[in-house]
Structure 1
Amino acid sequence: MLSNAAPLAEIWRGPIPESAHAGHIVVADETGAVTQAWGAPETVVLPRSSAKMIQALPLVASGAADAAGLAERHLALACASHEGAPLHARAVAEWLDARGLSEADLLCGPEPSRDKALRFEMIRDGETPTQLLNNCSGKHAGFLTLMQHLRAGPDYVAPDHPVQISARDAFEEVTGRDSPGFGIDGCSAPNFATKMDAMARAMSVFATAHRREDALSRAAARLVEAMIAYPLEVAGEGRACTLLMRAAREPVALKTGAEGFFVAILPERGTGIAVKAADGATRAAECAIAAVLVRLGVLDPEHPDVARFLRPEIRNRRGLSVGRIEPAADLLS
């Protein structure tokens, strides 16, 4: 992973460089060809939650979403790593209830809310984490909906379950390569591996999907539209995905993933981007994706919601600004 990694971000404390992050970035054009790259495009990676829109493809392409009467907001939630705010938990609970399901049918595991107000309220009231608050509960509601449509068994996260077989088929279709394997994600679902350039290609497939009429492309286009229309559902207040999508000068779908992954889909350009911080640092991936989007003119570096990820301040416990994170110079030049 560190072999041939390129600089992504530097951490400065006053005038002194203190730390650095390295990794890999690939930009793919409308044909899926690599147009820009930093690091090693052939690096094998687990895209983690950055692949959620791929995992949601069978939900839409199979007809399950339409048969269940899912709206655009539900499709955004199926792609989400949400913060477990009340709006997210309520929406997933209503989705499950409409399908005759409940929280008990989810297999993502309980998680505390990442919404600060709700989390403190739950601690104060002695409430325990729930599966509805899990950042992947929307994805799992989508899995359950597809499971019902396929009339398959309840262990929908098993690698050999029809839901996960369809997810893997979709993954290999849009990446254009056979996956070399998978790891089990934090939410218990398989997360399929691929190479950096293949993940960027997959994002370009989503970015150009609105130009094609096959079932998979129509599904991809609907998911992109849903993410752009509902950025709050995709992540939450104060989160990078939500803020950067709102700040963009053109429509863009953004999705973070654990261990320093980040992807971007630019439908007006047909461009796909994949970012991986080799050390798994979220701050590095957020800085790098912001820098590449600034480089491409998608983001304004002076926009306050862009600056907070492009060049975030480091403050000490007294609230004093004592340093900053800077993107590697090569990303902006």
Structure 2
Amino acid sequence: MAEAEALVEVWRGPFCESVHRGHAVVWDADGGIVAAWGDPEQVILPRSSCKMIQALPLIESGAADAFGLSEAQLALACASHNGAAIHTDMVRAWLGGLGIDPEEALRCGPQMPGDPDARSALIKTDSSPCQIHNNCSGKHSGFLTLAKHLGAGPDYVDPDHPVQVAVKSAFEEVTGETSPGHGIDGCSAPNFACTVTGLARAMGHFAAATGAGNARDRAMHRLTRAMAAHPVLVAGEGRSCTVLMRAMSGRASVKTGAEAVFIAIVPERRMGVALKIEDGATRGSEAVITRILCGLGVLDARHPAALTFTNGPIRNRRDIVTGEYRLSGSLSDWTA
């Protein structure tokens, strides 16, 4: 078994202060692994990076069309959002249209919003965050829509609930693996494990979807395009997913996950990417996914967003440049 590979160095002046090691795979839908770093067979929990897989049953079951979900709502179903008004207003309207009380039905738990304006508004009014502020409330709105369509019970995060049974089935089919198990995510939903290769393979399937094939092809295509068309709904202002998708002008869809997992779906190359930074550092996963996107030719390495995530610079509280990031090893100049 290969070990995690040093992928990102963090420099302070003339000193390498930290190193982020990890695993990454670039998968070609037509030819398998194009490039790999670390151990491609490392088993990981994809966390929120796999929300587009978790949303497949929402479309394939007919629930999305039965309830007239918009492209924007499909993007929100794949989101780890900031809890900004653009996100929470949509969740309220979505569930309200279904006749569902969010606080009674949601199982994701309350979370202080990451959006500065939304957070400030709660603090100023001495209000507590509620479940619609949870970064996963869009995904959970999708789960509730599917549960309503299936006529299933309220505990949709139970691994044995029809919603999660459908999610697991889709997950194993698109990764091409039997999941060795699951963990419970921050939002209380089960998160099924797979290898880094399995996750990249799944993203390769999404990348190859044309919208003219079978039900799964059409579902994958709709979700990929929804994410690319609505980057601010997938994350929020200033977040790497939103910034990178905007910088690529819809050429790729990307999604981060907790503990430094990141995926990319690149339709024009029919390629998928999955990576995991061993120490869970987000700055490491952001640097690596950005560099791979540049190597795939869908992101200009000179774009300010690309430079920010791959180089920095790192500044202190007085805005003095104190260091930089450096991509290490073969990743630094990789192209496909």
- TM-score (structure 2 length as normaliser): 0.96
What residue number does 1:70 align with? Answer: 69
What residue number does 2:274 align with? Answer: 274
Task: Give the Å deviation of 1:181.
Answer: 0.3
Letter in 2 for 1:116: P
Go from structure 1 to structure 2 and tell me whether the alpha carbon gap of 1:208 and 1:136 turns closer, same or farther (over 3 Å shift).
same
What residue number does 1:205 align with? Answer: 205
Q: Deviations over 1:79-100 (max 9, x none)?
A: 0011111110000110000000
Distance 1:121 1:321 in 2: 33
What residue number does 2:262 align with? Answer: 262
Aligned length: 332
What residue number does 1:30 align with? Answer: 29
Letter in 1 for 2:320: L
Distance 1:132 1:249 in 2: 29
What residue number does 1:320 align with? Answer: 320
Q: Percent identity?
A: 55
SS of residue matched to 1:210: coil
Task: Give the Å deviation of 1:149.
Answer: 0.5
What residue number does 1:330 align with? Answer: 330
Go from structure 1 to structure 2 and tell me whether the alpha carbon gap of 1:177 and 1:218 turns closer, same or farther (over 3 Å shift).
same
Distance 1:294 1:15 in 2: 26
Distance 1:211 1:223 in 2: 10
Distance 2:227 2:243 in 1: 13
Greater CA drift, 276-285 or 301-310? 301-310
What residue number does 2:99 align with? Answer: 100
Distance 1:137 1:247 in 2: 26
Letter in 2 for 1:19: S
Greater CA drift, 118-127 or 184-193? 118-127
Q: Is the 8 A contact 1:294 1:332 kept in 2?
A: no
Task: Give the Å deviation of 1:112.
Answer: 0.5
Go from structure 1 to structure 2 and tell me whether the alpha carbon gap of 1:32 and 1:233 turns closer, same or farther (over 3 Å shift).
farther
**2:87 corresponds to 1:88:** yes
Tell me how large the CA RMSD over aligned residues is: 1.3
Q: Deviations over 1:59-84 (max 9, x none)?
A: 00110000001000000000001111
Task: Give the Å deviation of 1:250.
Answer: 5.8
Task: Give the Å deviation of 1:211.
Answer: 6.1
Go from structure 1 to structure 2 and tell me whether the alpha carbon gap of 1:211 and 1:269 turns closer, same or farther (over 3 Å shift).
farther
Q: Is the 8 A contact 2:9 2:328 kept in 1?
A: yes
TM superposition outliers: structure 1 runs of 4+ over 6 Å? none
Distance 2:250 2:99 in 1: 39
**2:220 corresponds to 1:248:** no
**2:39 corresponds to 1:40:** yes
Distance 1:155 1:31 in 2: 39
Letter in 2 for 1:299: L
Q: Deviations over 1:1-54 (max 9, x none)?
A: 9x6101121100011111100000100002361110000000000000001000
Task: Give the Å deviation of 1:102.
Answer: 2.0
What residue number does 2:302 align with? Answer: 302
SS of residue matched to 1:233: helix
Q: Deviations over 1:190-234 (max 9, x none)?
A: 000000111100000000111651111111111001001111100
Greater CA drift, 102-111 or 156-165? 102-111
**2:147 corresponds to 1:147:** yes
SS of residue matched to 2:210: helix
Letter in 1 for 2:260: G
Letter in 1 for 2:141: A
What residue number does 1:17 align with? Answer: 16
Distance 1:261 1:32 in 2: 23
Q: Which runs of 5+ in 1 are unaligned?
A: none
Q: Is the 8 A contact 2:47 2:257 kept in 1?
A: yes
**2:121 corresponds to 1:121:** yes
What residue number does 2:167 align with? Answer: 167
Q: Is the 8 A contact 1:25 1:37 kept in 2?
A: yes
SS of residue matched to 2:204: helix
Distance 1:27 1:58 in 2: 25
Q: Which runs of 5+ in 2 are unaligned?
A: none
What residue number does 1:137 align with? Answer: 137
